[in-house]
Amino acid sequence: MKILVLNSGSSSIKFKLLQMPLEKMICSGMVERIGYEDAILSIKKDEINIQETVPIKSHREGLSIIVSYLTHPEKGVIKNPQDIFAVGHRVVHGGDSFAETTLINGAVKDEINYYSALAPLHNPPNLEGIEIAEKLFPTAKQVAVFDTAFYQTMPVKARKYAIPNTFYTEDNIKVYGFHGTSHKYVSEKAIKYLGRETSKIISVHLGNGCSMTAIVNGKSVDHSLGFAPSNGLVMGSRSGDIDHSVIFHLVDGLGYSLNEVKQLLNKKSGMLGLTGSSDLRDIQAKAEEGDKNCQLALEMNAYRIKKYIGSYTAVMNGLDALIFTAGIGENSSLIRKLTCLDMDYLGIKLDSVKNEKRSNVLREINTDSSQVKILVIPTNEELEIAKQVFNLIS
């Protein structure tokens, strides 16, 4: 069964075509810079990488180009769109309406549209991707996989903000959580690896966006992102935790507009604000050359992760495994080292030799005497989406 996974963002569409249940990737790619004359189409199939600059006016045009590539008589991988049995759509916000992966119908689309108010950058392009895919793949089942679904198991005490109750009950202001597909995928891998009936896990997803989830027996119990993907860890360009008084002072005391503060905290802060770059590779290189701001930013980054490890270990009353995943978590031995330094009180002991080894499969990087397993697990959100779609429709 061929399943096409689509991640339709504000100016890009990413896709992966998978053969399920073999979990075999047939081809993948993306269109970026939609709306520009010099949009970029990239396709990866076996060892072949194609990249072309083409004008792409709209999402519809972008997805049509992808379909014409997939069905191309010589270069393509399917004969016609009917070969796709199902399309799995990544949808960022499903609010409290969706605890599970769901077959898309009119009512589901209405709900996704309703939650656009809470995820204005993500849900509208996700919905647009669904509507275009319905036209381009009329025989395929359309399925929505929600980033927020994994957090529906969190207890109210972890989801509710300490503001008057009506904001929770009437205005839906609460923790929704993000990166759920990634945390679910890597934690299931870890549970299988641990081979235990019960487990207490902390999953640390460190990419451009960063988040942590506390997971007991496969169910999330706490999470660092909140109402929007801005709380918690220091991210590429987002500040993470900040005293809200700073916002009032920026507006009332320093004369910034609310929109400027929003841009500042989401687009100009985090590692970018601290160092001038949001790319950890640049920051590590500069820190090695002696740049003090970069050195401090790396320490701040790891310090914040450490604090969340401490609080989640307390919340779960124990810890069996600590997972590092995503671009930074999988590749930066330095961030892992700084994070795990002096954590032996909590039973976390990093093996510095294993930490430096590179591999693209699950690996253990703790010492033999470490009570807690420290695991590096490559995430694969598209495969998780395809698995969930396959499980739903078969």
DSSP 260-288: HHHHHHHHS-HHHHHHS---HHHHHHHHH
Closest separation in Å from C-beta 271 to ligand AMP? 7
Give the residue, chosen from 225, 326, 375, 377, that forms a contact with ligand AMP under the rule CB under 6 A.
Answer: 326
Q: Of 181, 187, 332, 339, which one interacts with ligand AMP (CB under 6 A)?
A: 332
Interface residue with ligand AMP, options 207, 226, 229, 232 (CB under 6 A): 207
Closest by alpha carbon to 223, among 208, 206, 237, 204?
204
**Sheet with strand 141-146: strands edge to edge:** 48-54, 39-45, 24-32, 13-19, 2-8, 84-91, 141-146, 102-103
Region near ligand AMP per CB under 6 A, out of 22-30, 36-44, 274-282, 385-393: 274-282
**210 interacts with ligand AMP by CB under 6 A:** no
d(CA 205, CA 148): 15
Judge whether 329 is annotated as a binding position. yes
Burial 66-104 (b: 16+ CB within 10 A, else e): bbebbbeeeebbbeebebbbbbbbbbbbbbebbeebbeb
The response to whether 208 counts as a known ligand-binding position is yes
Shortest Cβ contact with ligand AMP: which residue? 327
Regarding 280 and contact with ligand AMP (CB under 6 A), the answer is yes
Place of tokens 């400027």: 260
In the list 72, 249, 281, 357, the residue contacting ligand AMP (rule: CB under 6 A) is: 281
Give the active site residues: 147
Other C-beta atoms within 10 Å of 358: how many? 9
Q: Is 206 annotated as a binding residue?
A: yes
- Report the nearest approach of ligand AMP to the CB of residue 2 (Å): 26
Alpha carbon distance 78, 17 (integer Å):
10
270 makes contact with ligand AMP (CB under 6 A) = no
Does 355 bind ligand AMP (CB under 6 A)? Our answer is no
Nearer to ligand AMP, 273 or 327 (CB): 327
Residue 297 touching ligand AMP (CB under 6 A): no
Total number of residues binding ligand AMP (CB under 6 A)? 11
Contact between 323 and ligand AMP per CB under 6 A:
no
Residue 100 among known ligand-binding residues: no
What's the one-letter identity of residue 137? Answer: F
149 touches ligand AMP (CB under 6 A) = no
- Would the annotation count 78 as a binding residue? no
CB of 67 to ligand AMP, least distance (A): 26
Exposed/middle/buried for 49, CB within 10 Å: 0-12, 13-18, 19+?
A: exposed
3-state secondary structure of 172: coil
d(Cα 251, Cα 193) in Å, to the nearest integer?
Answer: 50
331 annotated as a binding-site residue? yes
Binding residues for ligand AMP, rule: CB under 6 A, are 207-208, 236, 279-281, 326-328, 331-332
